[in-house]
């Protein structure tokens, strides 16, 4: 394509724009399919590639691909009662109302936490990174502190670790560690490697146990340590590099494969 800088290989357009924080990869693909993205004056297709120097417009606005995006990752301590959405038809508070404005693009939530679940939520301006971290094949660990009410014995714990069948397929905890309690109320730390809707709660409920509190303590190698409810902090460049290293070590697919899926 005319205007490309030497040595800058072209990449899939949706991958570049997602990395710039303009939207999720799927959202950008919808814009491309709708004819709302052009490259050098021509309407792009989902298979179009681009490189720095190409003239790109997204929904009528020019985008400078020559500006290398500065990736940001934010750790946020979500309180109970907030919705992980940009707006809510019921008027409930959303996590995005509390977040600082990113230097460029917009925050993309890496997964979701239910209304009544608190704890660590990661967000990024890099759509490709978000997609990689959410891809089931990446096998990213999520650790939760959970308070349950009911009769708990070793056989029940073994079933949760060996696996049970939920309405959307098999599910299991990687680890279950008892962390205290009184009477019928017990605290556990549990780890699982996928993020299906209400999966932690449904696993316990499959054994006739009620979950009364649920808090995510860790996602990958990022913990909630030091974050008060409703506050956030930006990960350092070293922490982002460490997060990428964690993903590379665990992933069954490459980050590029996840981003291009």
What are the catalytic residues?
114
**Cβ-contact 117, 214 below 8 angstroms:** yes
Number of other CB atoms surrounding residue 149 within 10 Å: 16
Query: Rounded to the nearest 5°, which phi and psi values hold at 152?
Result: -115, 130
Q: Which of 84, 34, 70, 60 is nearest to 216 (CA)?
A: 84
Q: Mention every residue, 6+ apart, whose C-beta is less than 8 A from residue 223.
A: 120, 217
**Cβ-contact 14, 29 below 8 angstroms:** yes
Burial label for 104, CB within 10 Å (0-12, 13-18, 19+), is middle
**Cβ-contact 130, 108 below 8 angstroms:** yes
Q: Which of 166, 225, 237 is nearest to 200 (CA)?
A: 166
Long-range contacts of residues 4-11, Cβ cutoff 8 Å, at least 24 apart: 4/51, 4/52, 4/53, 4/54, 5/51, 5/52, 5/53, 5/66, 8/51, 8/52, 8/53, 9/51, 10/49, 10/50, 10/51, 11/49, 11/50, 11/51
Element housing 58 (H / E): strand 55-58
């Amino acid at each position: 394509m005319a205007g490309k800088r030497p040595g800058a290989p072209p990449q899939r357009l949706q991958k570049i724009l997602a990395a710039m924080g303009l939207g999720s990869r799927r959202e950008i693909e919808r814009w491309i399919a709708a004819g709302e993205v052009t490259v050098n004056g021509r309407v792009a297709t989902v298979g179009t590639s681009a490189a720095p120097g190409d003239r790109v417009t997204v929904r009528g606005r020019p985008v400078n691909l020559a500006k290398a995006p500065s990736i940001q990752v934010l750790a946020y301590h979500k309180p109970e009662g907030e919705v992980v959405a940009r707006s809510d038809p019921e008027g409930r508070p959303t996590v995005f109302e509390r977040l600082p404005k990113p230097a460029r693009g917009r925050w993309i939530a890496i997964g979701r936490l239910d209304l009544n679940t608190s704890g660590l939520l990661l967000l990024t301006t890099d759509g490709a990174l978000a997609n990689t971290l959410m891809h089931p094949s990446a096998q990213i660990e999520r650790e939760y502190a959970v308070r349950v009410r009911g009769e708990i014995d070793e056989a029940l714990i073994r079933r949760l670790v060996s696996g049970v069948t939920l309405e959307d397929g098999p599910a299991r905890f990687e680890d279950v560690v008892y962390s205290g309690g009184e009477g019928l109320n017990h605290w556990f730390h549990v780890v699982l490697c996928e993020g299906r809707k209400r999966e932690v709660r449904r696993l316990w409920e499959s054994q006739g146990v009620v979950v009364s509190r649920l808090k995510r303590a860790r996602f990958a190698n990022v913990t909630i340590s030091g974050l008060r409810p409703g506050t956030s902090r930006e990960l350092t460049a070293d922490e982002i590099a460490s997060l990428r290293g964690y993903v590379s070590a665990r992933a069954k697919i490459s980050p590029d494969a996840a981003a291009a899926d």
